A = this chain, B = another copy of it.
Amino acid sequence: MNIDAPCCTPLLDAVLPEGDAEVLATSFKALADPARLRLLSLIAASEGGACACDLVTPVGRSQPTVSHHLKVLREAGLVESERRGPWIWYRIVPERLDALRAVLTASAEVAVPA
């Protein structure tokens, strides 16, 4: 990119087509809420998964709200749930977080000049 050029030499524009961007945005949207970040943190901190009943109080939201956020996290593939008797246990899906991390890595590294 040359500043002496009359501006506006075209960029590579085969970068992140709209469709891919929307998929990715949906994933990051799942992380873009304090309650969901705290839920992830709580679940991640407890080895072997966390019972949903243990999440309502520490996250400081109503039970329906927590249930809603857990659903968002599940549909985003960030957590998985499993029924154990009357309770439902949630655990982190590390691969999903790895994938998002990879996206950020790519963006950052390409930007690092020689």
Contacts and interface: CB of A to CB of B under 8 A. Distances in A.
A41 to B, nearest CB: 4
Interface in A100-114: 100-101, 104-114
A72 interface: no
Q: How many of these chains are in the complex?
A: 2
State the majority secondary structure of interface residues on A: helix
Interface of A: 1, 3, 7-13, 15-16, 18, 21-22, 24-25, 28-29, 31-38, 40-51, 53-55, 58, 60, 84, 86-87, 91-92, 94, 97-98, 100-101, 104-114
9 contacts: A1-B46, A7-B51, A12-B46, A16-B41, A24-B31, A28-B28, A45-B110, A97-B108, A101-B101
